[in-house]
Amino acid sequence: MGDGDRREALPALALGRAGAADAPEIARLARGVMEEAWSERGFADQASKPGAVLWTARSGARGELLGFLVGERILDELHVLSVAVAPATRRRGIARSLLARALEAASSAGVEVVHLELRASNRAARSLYEGFGFVAVGRRPRYYRVKGKQRAPTPPHDNHDNQNNQNAQNPPNPREDAVLMTPALSAWQNPRPGP
């Protein structure tokens, strides 16, 4: 069964706030599922910032980490930086639960603006956010690196010709656009009901 298939709901899910102590576990999960995952240090630093927003989803039974959401709050704005779920437990509403909880907490704390960016090709994430009323409001061209598709550096002896020739030999590394999303007015406080 692939990630895109619908699965039965998880029997029990524990959602909670996380901190720097959870960074090693979160980084391990991120490494396995994200194209440009932060390091353990990156998560720990992020979690220690004053406006840090870090939620985890764990299996109720064993406490195993199944997913996380990381964001940053600045005054009345929430920037959702990332959401990720372990491949084996996808399509069971974990990301939706994490996002719902984070948005609910943000709203209670006075957040009025939510924004995020995602890879233009990330249809799963886009559909997740659209379910909460997010709409695309902009694009950052070539914002993300495309992993595994970097061109090999041209050897120095091949790289002596005129500018046009150099461009032909050295096409820019592949990059991917970011789509910027924000919820349509108040929509994020009334997400589409999940299963």
Ligand X SMILES: CC(C)(COP(=O)(O)OP(=O)(O)OC[C@H]1O[C@@H](n2cnc3c(N)ncnc32)[C@H](O)[C@@H]1OP(=O)(O)O)[C@@H](O)C(=O)NCCC(=O)NCCS
Among 9, 33, 109, 113, binds ligand X (CB under 6 A): 33
Among 23, 114, 128, 178, binds ligand X (CB under 6 A): 128
Select the span of 46-54, 92-100, 105-113, 181-189 touching ligand X (CB under 6 A): 92-100
CB of 170 to ligand X, least distance (A): 30
Is the Cβ–Cβ distance between 76 and 112 less than 8 Å?
Answer: yes
If one asks whether residue 58 binds ligand X (CB under 6 A), the answer comes out as no
CB of 137 to ligand X, least distance (A): 15
Distances (CA, A) of 14 to 10, 57, 98, 106: 11, 6, 10, 19
If one asks whether residue 34 binds ligand X (CB under 6 A), the answer comes out as yes
Distance CA 57, CA 63 (A): 9
- Phi and psi at 36, nearest 5°, equal -130, 70
What are residue 189's DSSP bridge partners? Answer: none
Q: Which two tokens stand for residue 108?
A: 């209670």
Question: Which residues would be at the binding site for ligand X (CB under 6 A)?
Answer: 3-4, 6, 33-34, 82-85, 90-96, 118, 122-125, 127-128, 131, 194-195
